Structures are given as C-alpha cells and as structure tokens.
C-alpha cells in the first residue's frame, strides 16, 4: 500500500501566472497566491547568513523570501556547477514554511556585470565589454555577444534543471527572476564597430510590425530615443534567450525587474538609470522581445505617492501583470502597499533589504529619512501591515479584479477619501475624529499612518481592513436607497479562509462611525436601508 501511495502521489500543479478576463493571478499549488515577501541584501544568499535572517521573515509573517543566486558562485569554472548553497537555502526555506523567489544575478546586476564569473570577466576577447561613445570599454557585458549569451543561458539552464530535480515536487521555489535590473550604466548602447553597423541598419520587421510603425533605421523609427530603443531591443532579446533556455528545463514563472527611469534627474539612459532596461518608455519593445518572460516588474523606490501610483499604472497593463519585487520598507511604502494590492491587483509586494529590519539606525544619505532614526520605528507600519494583511491574503486575492476592492490612503493634504461601491459610498477619514457630537471630522494623523482597504463582498456587505481610519457609510449618490444603517458589525479575522468574529461592535463603536485603531483591525459590516 505504501508503495502504491508513493507511486500514485500526484505532484502539486506547477506555479503559474494565469489571466482571467483582465485579471492576472499567480497560482501556487493551484490556488491564488499573493506574494508577501521581502528581498535580502545582495550578499545574503548564503545559508549561514540566512540563519540570521529566517527569523525576520517569521516575525514579519511574510510568505516568501527573495534570495539571489550568483552566477560566479554556481559556475566557478566553465561548465562546473555548484548548487550546494542553493540546495541548503531551499531546504531551510521549506523548514520555515516559506516560499522562495530566486534571483539569477548573472550578465546584468544593476546595469553592470559584477556577478559574471571570473573566467567571463577575465576573457574580454571572448566576452566583450560594451564600448561607450568615446570608444572606451565599460564595466558592462555587451548584449551583442553570442558567446556571452550562450554562457549565461547554459548556466541558467543548468540552474533550472537542477531546481526541477531538487524542488520539482515541493515547489518551494515559485518564481525566478532572470538577471537583475538589466541594461547598461555608463553608456546608452554598445558603440563597438559591429554594434554601430547594426544600429545604422533597419529596425527588425518583427519590431516595427508589432509596434505598428513604418520600416526604417533606428533613428528614423525612434528619433531621439533611437539609441535607447536599440539597446532595449538587444538586451531584451538576450534576456529572453536566457529565459527560454531555462524555461525549457523547468517551466516556472519568470520575470525581469527594472531599475526605473522615473524621477531621476534628466532621465538620461546610461546615466540616471541603466539604458536598455525595461523602463516605461521602452516597455512596448520589451514586451515584443520577451515571449519567454511572464512579467516585467518595476523596482519601485519612487517616494511620492502620485509617482508610485503612476508606476503601478504603467506596468500593470493588459499584457503585463503588476509585480513589485523590490520597493522601500519605510513609512510611506506601508501606505503604498495598500494602493498596490487594492487598486492595482499586484501579484506580490516585497520590500528590499530585509536584513536591516530590527538592526540599528538609518545611515546617512537615505532619501527622505534623517540619519540616526531607528530602523525598527521606520519599518513598524510595514510590519503592522504584514501582521494584519498576511492572514487575509487569500481573501484579498479573491477580491482583486472584482472592481469592488479599493484603498483609502492618507497623504499630505489628503485627510479623507471617498470610495464608491454598488449601493453605498464609504467616506474614509484618517485619524481619530476630533468632535464626537455634532459631526465627525478626523483631520489626519501625525505620521501619516492612515491606510485602509474596503471590499464589497456582497451589495450590502463590506470587509474593512486597516489602520488609523474612521469609516462612514451613506447610500451612493444617485442610488434609490434612502438611508444606511448597520444591521450588524463584527470585528474579527480570517483563519483558513473562514471569517472568525471576535466580537460584535455596537453602541459608541458604531454610533457615528467605525474606527480602525492604530494597531489595525479587520471589520465586517452588514448594511441595510429602510
Ligand atoms: C536595487 C537595490 C539592490 C531612491 C539597491 C535599485 C538590488 C537592486 N537597485 O539597493 O542593489 O539588487 O535591484 C536601483 C534604484 C535606485 C534608485 C533609488 C532612489
């Protein structure tokens, strides 16, 4: 019997990203999964170092760890592979009940080549550097080298084949990032003679046709963006080849992350951001060039909320799911998480630099934060988010894409938000009401901690999750309802997909408004009209 069980045990379905209607969903073990994670610092992908970091994930209630895998370490000599560290990390993650996203640091890491193995770095004839417009080689591998692409693809394929062997049944690893922020710093494109020749030639018909542009040279078709468009096409084709090689071995979802161009000085490619990466201005080119990549994912360090939302808007589009594999972990980003999950149906959200949580004070030079501030204080709102939202992720995943899940988030000068649902409107005001009789006007919190999401789960029933927010209901303007009254309100939580009410709220707790306190709460309210 045991033998029969073993022989017939069915492996869980592969992780995959599916699209139903306009909504993308990441499926893990066949079920919708919102990746709530964190990325470790760059030099932390070592089992010994991870021993100190696993407890941080536990404390956070994260469900996924994003950890790099280094080409220079897994292939120290051509075709000699070492996956011991990767294997140990997978075993440890499994023991922690965490999923993994592994990050393939190879030809590109932040627009340079630092993770290429020594034998690639040393052989500049076989693995050429890019040449800048002044004729000088730079610290970036050329995307025009077949030899370099083959070397990377060969290693990535070996890595994916190995993953299938060690994890093909358990699916602890749910997704793989191909490269890290590809593109080139120091030059807008390769100016080597052979590349210049290519640049003077026609734009491939596959690209002009897909973009519905007339045929012509790069300059004719793309004008002032020609060098960058050319770089994007060639970097994207290269990354797609690497991805395709790995995917053939093991079909996990693959994504590419982006060092954004938004809000960086004069936004010159190769100076303010790597040229040829999948920045918003060349995203269309990347989508044409990368059929083997599931998602192009922005690393969002944009500090202001309008800019943050604009990035979500430009990457979450009909042909691309929104996935945020890197973002900030400080105060404002705890608010932005609500936008990402509730308004843009993000598949996942992962602050960068998990190692630092709980450790020390902020060093000099971190934008928007004064040096010396305690990191624990700064990340507390994010940790609160994880604690509150973590157990409700299955529900949030089910509410995404319904059009009935909205965020209400406090910002400078924005002390209230009005959300519209089928029959009711919700007024969310941040902070505690100042006057409790004769009107309620919450006028904001000291540290901008107001953040909530509201989901209409039936026409007269709502779930409200969040912090430091005051909630009131009225019939939607124009609806035929005359009044709004609570039939009942509960405070509780979700457990294994079930709502567990802890108490009924009434009296002062519902009289003028509902309140989400500073430590957060999940409320469920049934309304009626009379
Ligand atoms: C990221 C990270 C890591 C405020 C930087 C961000 C990670 C890489 N690059 O810590 O190196 O591996 O993907 C680049 C965006 C910088 C803009 C910061 C503005």
308 C-alpha vs ligand 1 centroid, how far in Å?
A: 15
Q: Is the CB of 299 under 6 A from ligand 1?
A: yes
Q: Residue 432 has what pLDDT?
A: 80
Q: Is the CB of 439 under 6 A from ligand 1?
A: no
Q: Residue 2 has what pLDDT?
A: 47
Question: pLDDT tens digit string along 174-201?
Answer: 999 999 999 999 999 999 999 999 999 9
Q: Is the CB of 187 under 6 A from ligand 1?
A: no
Q: Whose CA is nearest to atom 14 of ligand 1?
A: 259
162 C-alpha vs ligand 1 centroid, how far in Å?
A: 29
Q: Is the CB of 301 under 6 A from ligand 1?
A: yes
Contact 250, 166 (CB under 8 A): no
Residue 341 is given by DSSP the state: I
Q: What is the rounded CA–CA span in Å between residue 186 and residue 110?
A: 12
- Structure token pair of residue 483: 């009044």
What 3-state class would DSSP assign to 15?
coil
Instruction: Give all strands (DSSP E) within 220-300, no chain letters.
Output: 254-259, 295-300
Q: Whose CA is nearest to atom 3 of ligand 1?
A: 42
Q: What is the rounded CA–CA span in Å between residue 75 and residue 342?
A: 41
Helix orientation angle between 47-60 and 375-389, rounded to the nearest 10 degrees: 60
Mutate to test the pocket of ligand 1, among 275, 299, 302, 329 (most ligand atoms within 8 A of CB): 299
Contact 150, 168 (CB under 8 A): no
423 C-alpha vs ligand 1 centroid, how far in Å?
A: 44
Any idea how long the chain is? 530
Q: Is the CB of 352 under 6 A from ligand 1?
A: yes
Q: Residue 3 has what pLDDT?
A: 46
408 C-alpha vs ligand 1 centroid, how far in Å?
A: 28
Q: Is the CB of 262 under 6 A from ligand 1?
A: no
74 C-alpha vs ligand 1 centroid, how far in Å?
A: 23
Q: Give, in order, the Cα–Cα distances in Å from 112 to each of 108, 165, 182.
A: 6, 31, 8
Contact 351, 382 (CB under 8 A): yes
Q: Residue 1 has what pLDDT?
A: 45
Q: Whose CA is nearest to atom 2 of ligand 1?
A: 352
Q: Residue 334 has what pLDDT?
A: 97
On the CB side of 455, CA atoms within 13 Å amount to 23
Q: Residue 139 has what pLDDT?
A: 98
- Structure token pair of residue 471: 């909630």
Q: Is the CB of 181 under 6 A from ligand 1?
A: yes
- Residue 348 β-bridge partners: 35
Report the atom number in ligand 1 closest to the C-alpha of 42: 12
Mutate to test the pocket of ligand 1, among 256, 352, 365, 367 (most ligand atoms within 8 A of CB): 352
* Mean pLDDT for back-to-back runs of 10 residues, the chain (530 residues): 50 93 96 97 97 91 96 98 98 98 99 98 98 98 98 99 98 98 98 98 98 98 98 99 98 98 88 97 98 98 96 98 96 96 98 83 76 83 96 97 97 96 96 67 89 96 98 93 96 94 96 93 97
Q: Nearest CA to 126 among 78, 193, 165?
A: 78
Report the atom number in ligand 1 closest to the C-alpha of 181: 13
259 C-alpha vs ligand 1 centroid, how far in Å?
A: 7
For each of the domains in the chain, give its residue range(s) and CATH number, in order of start.
Answer: 10-401 (3.20.20.80), 406-528 (2.60.220.20)
Q: Are strands 424-430 and 485-495 parallel, antiparallel or unpaired?
A: unpaired
Mutate to test the pocket of ligand 1, among 177, 181, 366 (most ligand atoms within 8 A of CB): 181
Q: Are strands 23-28 and 16-20 parallel, antiparallel or unpaired?
A: antiparallel
Q: Is the CB of 42 under 6 A from ligand 1?
A: yes
183 C-alpha vs ligand 1 centroid, how far in Å?
A: 13
Helix orientation angle between 146-167 and 84-95, rounded to the nearest 10 degrees: 40
Q: Whose CA is nearest to atom 19 of ligand 1?
A: 301
Q: Is the CB of 259 under 6 A from ligand 1?
A: yes
66 C-alpha vs ligand 1 centroid, how far in Å?
A: 14
Q: Residue 363 has what pLDDT?
A: 75
406 C-alpha vs ligand 1 centroid, how far in Å?
A: 29
Q: What is the rounded CA–CA span in Å between residue 302 and residue 486?
A: 40
Residue 297 burial (10 A CB sphere; 0-12, 13-18, 19+): buried
110 C-alpha vs ligand 1 centroid, how far in Å?
A: 7
- H or E stretch at 475: strand 469-475
Which residue carries 């897909």 as its tokens?
210
26 C-alpha vs ligand 1 centroid, how far in Å?
A: 25
Q: Are strands 295-300 and 348-351 parallel, antiparallel or unpaired?
A: unpaired
472 C-alpha vs ligand 1 centroid, how far in Å?
A: 40
Instruction: Give all strands (DSSP E) within 42-162, no chain letters.
Output: 64-70, 99-109, 129-131, 137-141
Q: What is the rounded CA–CA span in Å between residue 355 and residue 359?
A: 8
The gap between the terminal CA atoms of the chain, to the nearest Å, is 63
Question: pLDDT tens digit string along 145-164?
Answer: 999 999 999 999 999 999 99
254 C-alpha vs ligand 1 centroid, how far in Å?
A: 20
Q: Is the CB of 494 under 6 A from ligand 1?
A: no
* Burial per residue of 266-280, b for 16 or more beta-carbon CB atoms within 10 angstroms, e otherwise: eeebbebbbbbbbbb
């Amino acid at each position: 019997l045991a033998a029969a069980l073993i022989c017939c045990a069915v492996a869980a379905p592969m992780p995959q990203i599916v699209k139903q209607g306009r909504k993308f969903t990441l499926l893990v073990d066949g079920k919708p999964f919102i990746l709530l994670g964190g990325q470790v610092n760059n030099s932390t992908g070592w089992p010994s170092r991870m021993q100190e970091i696993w407890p941080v994930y536990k404390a956070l209630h994260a469900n996924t760890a994003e950890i790099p895998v280094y080409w220079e370490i897994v292939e120290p000599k051509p075709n000699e592979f070492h996956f011991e560290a990767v294997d140990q990390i997978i075993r440890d993650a499994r023991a922690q009940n965490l999923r993994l996203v592994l990050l393939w640091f190879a030809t590109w890491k932040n627009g340079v080549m630092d993770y290429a193995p020594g034998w690639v770095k040393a052989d500049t004839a076989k693995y050429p550097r890019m040449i800048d417009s002044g004729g000088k080689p730079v610290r970036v591998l050329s995307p025009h080298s077949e030899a370099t692409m083959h070397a990377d693809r060969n290693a990535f394929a070996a890595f994916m084949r190995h993953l299938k062997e060690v994890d093909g049944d358990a699916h602890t690893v749910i997704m793989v990032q191909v490269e890290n922020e590809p593109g080139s710093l120091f030059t807008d494109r390769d100016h080597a003679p052979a590349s210049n020749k290519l640049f003077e030639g026609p734009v491939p018909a596959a690209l002009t046709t897909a973009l519905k542009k007339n045929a012509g040279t790069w300059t004719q078709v793309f004008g002032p963006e020609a060098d960058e468009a050319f770089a994007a096409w060639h970097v994207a084709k290269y990354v797609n080849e690497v991805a395709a090689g790995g995917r053939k071995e093991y079909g996990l979802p693959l994504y590419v992350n982006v060092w954004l161009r938004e809000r960086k000085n004069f936004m010159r490619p190769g100076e303010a951001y790597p040229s040829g990466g999948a920045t918003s201005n060349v995203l269309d080119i990347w989508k044409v060039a990368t059929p083997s990549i599931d998602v192009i994912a922005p690393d969002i360090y944009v500090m202001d909320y309008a800019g943050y939302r604009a990035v979500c808007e430009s990457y979450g589009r009909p042909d691309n799911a929104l996935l945020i594999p890197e973002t900030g972990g400080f105060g404002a980003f705890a608010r932005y998480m609500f936008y990402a999950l509730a308004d843009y149906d993000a598949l996942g959200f992962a602050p960068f630099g998990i190692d630092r949580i709980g450790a020390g004070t902020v060093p000099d030079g971190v934008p928007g934060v004064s040096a010396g501030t305690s990191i624990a204080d700064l990340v507390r709102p994010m940790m609160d988010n994880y604690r509150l939202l973590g157990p409700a992720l299955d529900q949030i995943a089910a509410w995404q894409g319904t059009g009935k899940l909205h965020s209400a988030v406090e910002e400078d000068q924005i002390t209230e938000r009005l959300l519209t649902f089928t029959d009711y409107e919700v007024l969310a005001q941040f902070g505690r009401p100042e006057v409790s009789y004769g009107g309620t006007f919450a006028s904001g919190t000291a540290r901008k901690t107001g953040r909530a999401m509201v989901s209409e789960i039936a026409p007269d029933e709502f779930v409200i999750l969040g912090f430091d927010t005051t909630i009131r209901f009225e019939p939607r303007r124009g609806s035929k309802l005359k009044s709004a009254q609570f039939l009942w309100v509960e405070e509780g939580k979700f457990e294994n997909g079930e709502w567990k009410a802890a108490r009924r709220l009434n009296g002062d707790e519902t009289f003028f408004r509902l309140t989400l306190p500073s430590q957060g709460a999940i409320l469920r309210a049934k309304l009626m009209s009379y």
